[in-house]
């Protein structure tokens, strides 16, 4: 892609990770679009058990029968017939770095993956196209029975576990995009943490989309058994293309009694990607689930991580930050359902909008009858970087129980002339002053991330903002 | 050092400064006193380059350079500093982080982290600030006195050639006033000039000015030595209005 290179050399590339490798694929569906034949082809290629094929085909029916949602963002330009639904980049999965092909390695190097590895990051599962190509897991975890692999391997090696839980938190027919994912899913992570096992170092996966018009439909299932703890981190950067890409993931988390799962995501999709993700967790008795969610890039993101608090004393936290620049719409938020007594939840949502960017907070807080003593706090803060930027808040609250304590707070602030003047009077350029205000604004989220991710989040936002001021 | 000539400034169509002139030499401390509404804060904001004000006529030169077209950050890098009367809050940004960024913005070469740390510690000690203060978010939830101390702390860190102090003394108790004055006196020397803008004579007991100017209705109406400040304290601003009010309106 010489023209791509020259753009980079000139430093004109708006999207810094917009490099991509020549497309050299092992397997790709013979045509765009989706029908039972394509779905069967994917399943056959993966040598899946019969029940998974049936599951996929049933999901496809559901997908085809559901209308495209009319609420939220504008999906009118999304053409499902213009997408390749499955591409597999290489024959076998790499277990060590040396096994990874060079062009793929180059991509990872540009993203800093090998460094991260050297810095003793624990297990790296990196999704390149539809398959995980690089996966390593520390031996001591394997000894303690921890499973961390791509979902396809999970299905092969732990079929019983997968069959028991797959699609139980997010049924295929939950919504149009969960149905689509269920029909064509590929890759993603499968994690099982045995009772009482604490994984101190976060499990990390890195995702990239690299083929034009290719949807990425990863599927992640994490099961934290009783009293266990795991922190799973997923970061995404996608290169820039001129036609629309679709990313539609499904992530299911199950926290058994007294378990704790923290799931952190920083997503930075190129500006023409539709990012339509369904994430949901169940927290059983005294379990805790935390979603930390950073949304950058994409044309439209619709994502509302959910926690269902089904056991007494369960806790859910959703922390999200979104940046909407010119032409982008970040429609994000969170959903908490209190279905048991003495459950608690906290939703903190922060959004930044600039230019013609639009950020929407869409949240649901539901307290079922009998969830006595439920406590919930929702806080959403929007920061507008200029006059045209737009933010909306849609907090839906349904409370069926009297003995509860809920709070909701929403603020909208603008980066003020006086604030910028103050920082600039100390020698900061307008851009640096703006970045400082923005970094301060997202600090409550950034401090919940491991240091290198917090730095990356700040850096990515600064990249997005570069050249946007003045 | 600083030369202001025939400065006319408007905000939202109303003229606030009406031909103000002032010269501040190297190493000099000037006090500008005046009643509320005389244009003191406008002057300090315009000197630093606040975008909200329209300069309709006149010139501002700093070290021989016309700064009129320069942004606030460019003026800061030349060595100008404004201690704000009402500094803005910046949630999520610690004082230490802000100081680091500011110091490295005005310096040609970045300061090594350890040196920076020592410098912050040293200057905070002068300002009698708790080290924990550095971890608080900039001006968020600060008391009036803490904000003013923090302004002077920034001044000590940035070591400007010219400091403009916009009513830094207002709302300070006597202890805080002493600490703030100590900070200013710390920088006092042949390479440091200051313009102290104030309503009261009080701060001038601790920072002795070389020149005192009285401002009324957008102009400097009279100038003198430090005795003028005492005279003003004695007779009040009504005396100024009676004495110079007609001149100011002519």
Q: Tell me the chain B residues in contact with residue A440 when contact means C-beta distances shorter than 8 Å.
A: 90-93, 137-138
Q: Rounded mean pLDDT of A272-297?
A: 94
Q: Residue B73 is nearest to which of A419, A428, A443, comparing CB atoms?
A: A428
CB contact under 8 A, B106 and A426: yes
Residue of A nearest to B158 (CA): A426
What is residue A449's predicted lDDT score, i.e. its pLDDT? 80
Residue of A nearest to B80 (CA): A425
Q: Given pLDDT bands bounded at 50, 70 and 90, which one contains residue A89?
A: low
Q: How far apart are CA A374 and CA A406, in angstroms?
A: 8
Residue recorded with tokens 């023409």 = A272
Question: Considering only CB atoms, which chain A residues are within 8 Å of B88?
Answer: 416, 418-419, 422-423
Instruction: Give the C-alpha distances (Å, rounded to integers) separating B66 from A297, A429, B25, B63.
Output: 42, 19, 16, 9
- Residue B228 covered by a domain: yes
How many domains in chain B? 1
Tell me if residue B226 falls in helix, strand or coil. Answer: helix
Interface pTM (ipTM) of the complex?
Answer: 0.96
Query: Quick check: A422 and B87 CB within 8 A?
Result: yes
B202 assigned to some structural domain: yes
Q: What is chain B's length?
A: 250
Out of B50, B76, B91, the one facing A426 most closely (by C-beta) is B76
Q: Which residue of chain A comes nearest to B105, CA vs CA?
A: A427
Which phi and psi angles does A419 have, rounded to 5°?
-65, -45
For residue A99, what pLDDT is reported?
52
Q: Where are the beta strands (DSSP E) in chain B?
A: 2-11, 14-24, 29-33, 54-62, 65-66, 80-83, 90-94, 137-138, 162-166, 193-198, 211-216, 219-224
Distance from CA of A221 to the nearest CA of B (A): 34
Mutation site for B-interface testing, chosen from A381, A427, A429, A440 by largest number of B Cβ within 10 Å = A427
Q: What is the tens place of the pLDDT at every residue in A362-387?
A: 999 999 999 999 999 999 999 999 88
A425 neighbourhood in chain B, CB within 8 Å: 48-49, 72-73, 75-76, 81-82, 84
Residue B193's domain comprises 2-87+161-249
Is the CB of B111 inside 8 Å of chain A's CB atoms? no
- Distance of alpha carbon B130 from alpha carbon A417, whole angstroms: 31
Considering CB atoms only, which of B72, B92, B138 is closest to A425?
B72
- Residue B24's CATH number: 3.40.50.300
pLDDT cut 90: percent of chain B above it: 81
pLDDT confidence of residue B244: 83
Work out the pLDDT band at B167, boundaries 50, 70, 90: very high
Listed residue (B235, B199, B204, B231) closest to B215, CA to CA:
B199
Chain A: give the shortest CA distance to residue B155, in Å.
Answer: 9
CB–CB of A439 and B101 under 8 A? no
> What are the backbone angles phi and psi of residue B133, rounded to the nearest 5°?
-55, -35
Short-list B205, B142, B201, B160, CA closest to B24: B160
Q: For residue B164, list its beta bridge partners.
A: B82, B195
By CB neighbour count within 10 A (0-12 exposed, 13-18 middle, 19+ buried), where does A177 fall? buried
Strand ranges for B54-153 from DSSP E: 54-62, 65-66, 80-83, 90-94, 137-138
* B92 within a domain of the structure (yes/no): no
pLDDT for the residue numbered A184: 94
Do the chains contact at A437 and B48, CB–CB below 8 Å? no
In this prediction, residue B248 has a pLDDT band, given cuts at 50, 70 and 90, of: very low
Min CA distance, B233 vs chain A (Å)? 32
Judge whether B11 is closer than 8 Å to chain A, CB to CB: no
Contacts of A428 in chain B (CB under 8 A): 73, 101-102, 105
Shortest CA gap B103–chain A (Å): 8
Q: How far is B76 from chain A (nearest CA, A)?
A: 5
Q: What local confidence, expressed as pLDDT, does residue A4 receive?
A: 40
In a domain, B125, yes or no: no
**B88 interface with A at CB cutoff 8 Å:** yes
Average of per-residue pLDDT across A329-339 = 95
pLDDT at A128: 47
Nearest Cα to Cα of residue A226 among A154, A180, A288, A139: A288
Whether B67 is in a domain gets the answer: yes
Q: Which residue of A has its CA nearest to B78?
A: A427
B108 in a domain, yes or no? no
Pick the residue with more confidence: A137 or B92?
Answer: B92
Residues in chain B closer than 8 A to A418 (CB atoms):
88
Burial of residue A24 (number of CB atoms within 10 Å: 0-12, 13-18, 19+): exposed
Taking the CA of residue B111 and the nearest CA in chain A, the distance in Å comes to 15
Please tell me the predicted confidence (pLDDT) of residue B126: 94
Q: Which token pair is A270?
A: 């190129």
Among the partner residues A422, A426, A441, nearest to B158 by beta-carbon distance: A426
Contacts of A442 in chain B (CB under 8 A): 92
Q: Please judge whether A427 and B106 are an interchain contact, meaning their C-beta atoms are less than 8 angstroms apart.
A: yes
Could B77 and A417 be called an inter-chain contact, meaning their C-beta atoms sit closer than 8 Å?
no
Least confidently predicted of A338-342, A411-415, B210-214: A411-415
Q: Give a yes or no: residue B80 inside a domain.
A: yes
Domain ranges within chain A, ordered by starting residue: 19-430, 431-470
In a domain, B149, yes or no: no
């Amino acid at each position: 892609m010489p023209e791509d290179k020259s753009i980079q050399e000139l430093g004109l590339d708006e999207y810094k990770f917009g490099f991509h490798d020549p497309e050299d694929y092992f397997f790709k569906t013979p045509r765009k679009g989706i029908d039972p034949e394509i779905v069967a082809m994917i399943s056959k290629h993966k040598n899946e058990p019969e029940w998974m094929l049936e599951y996929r085909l049933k999901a496809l029916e559901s997908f085809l029968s559901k209308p495209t949602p009319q609420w939220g963002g504008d999906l009118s330009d999304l053409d499902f017939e213009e997408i390749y639904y499955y591409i597999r980049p290489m024959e076998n999965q790499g277990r060590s770095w040396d096994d990874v092909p060079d062009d793929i390695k180059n991509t990872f190097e540009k993203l800093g993956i090998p460094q991260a590895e050297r810095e003793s990051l624990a297990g790296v599962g990196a999704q390149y196209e539809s398959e995980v190509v690089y996966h390593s897991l520390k031996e001591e975890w394997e000894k303690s029975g921890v499973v961390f692999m791509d979902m396809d391997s999970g299905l092969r090696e732990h079929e019983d576990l997968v069959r028991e839980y797959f699609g139980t938190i997010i049924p295929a027919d939950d919504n149009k995009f969960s149905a689509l994912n269920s029909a064509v899913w590929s890759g993603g992570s499968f994690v099982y943490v045995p009772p009482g096992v604490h994984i101190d170092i976060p499990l990390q996966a890195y995702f990239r989309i690299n083929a034009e018009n290719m949807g990425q439909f990863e599927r992640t299932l994490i099961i934290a058994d009783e009293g266990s703890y795991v922190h799973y981190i997923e970061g995404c950067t996608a290169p820039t293309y001129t036609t629309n890409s679709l990313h539609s993931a499904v992530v299911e988390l199950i926290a058994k009694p007294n378990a704790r799962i923290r799931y952190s995501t920083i997503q930075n999709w190129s500006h023409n990607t539709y990012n339509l993700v369904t994430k949901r967790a169940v927290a059983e008795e005294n379990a805790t689930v935390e979603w930390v969610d950073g949304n950058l890039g994409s044309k439209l993101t619709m994502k509302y991580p959910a926690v269902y608090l089904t056991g007494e004393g369960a806790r859910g936290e959703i922390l999200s930050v979104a940046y909407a620049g010119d032409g982008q719409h970040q429609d994000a938020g969170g959903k908490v359902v209190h279905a048991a007594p003495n459950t608690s939840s906290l939703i903190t949502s922060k959004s930044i909008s600039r230019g013609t960017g639009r950020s929407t907070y869409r949240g649901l807080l539901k307290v079922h009858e009998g969830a006595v003593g439920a406590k919930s706090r929702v806080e959403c803060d929007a920061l507008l970087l200029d006059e045209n930027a737009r933010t909306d808040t849609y907090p839906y609250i349904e409370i069926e129980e009297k003995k509860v304590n809920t709070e909701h707070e929403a603020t909208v602030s603008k980066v003020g002339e006086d604030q910028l003047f103050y920082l600039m009077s100390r020698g900061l350029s307008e851009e640096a002053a703006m970045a400082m205000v923005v970094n301060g604004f997202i600090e409550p989220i950034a401090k919940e991330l491991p240091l290198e991710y917090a730095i990356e989040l700040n850096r990515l936002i600064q990249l997005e903002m570069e050249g946007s001021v003045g | 050092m600083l030369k202001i000539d025939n400065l006319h400034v408007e905000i939202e169509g109303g003229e606030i400064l009406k031909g103000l002139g002032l010269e501040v030499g190297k190493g000099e401390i000037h006090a500008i006193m005046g009643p509320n509404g005389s244009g003191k804060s406008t002057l300090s904001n315009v000197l630093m380059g606040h975008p909200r004000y329209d300069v309709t006529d006149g010139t501002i030169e700093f070290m021989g350079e016309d700064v009129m077209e320069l942004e606030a950050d460019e003026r800061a890098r030349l060595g100008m500093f404004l201690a704000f009367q009402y500094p803005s809050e910046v949630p999520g940004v610690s004082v230490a982080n802000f100081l680091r960024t500011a110091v490295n913005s005005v310096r040609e070469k970045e300061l090594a982290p350890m040196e920076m740390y020592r410098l912050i510690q040293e200057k905070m000690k002068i300002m009698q600030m708790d080290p924990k203060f550095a971890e608080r978010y900039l001006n968020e939830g600060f008391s009036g006195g803490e904000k003013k101390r923090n302004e002077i702390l920034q001044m000590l860190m940035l070591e400007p050639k010219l400091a403009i102090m916009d009513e830094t003394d207002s709302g300070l108790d006597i202890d805080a006033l002493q600490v703030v004055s100590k900070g200013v006196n710390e920088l006092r020397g042949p390479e440091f000039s200051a313009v102290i803008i104030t309503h009261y004579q009080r701060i001038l007991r601790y920072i002795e000015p070389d020149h005192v100017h009285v401002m009324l209705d957008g102009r400097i109406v009279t100038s003198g030595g430090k005795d003028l400040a005492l005279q003003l304290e004695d007779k009040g601003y009504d005396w100024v209005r009676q004495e110079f009010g007609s001149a100011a309106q002519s």
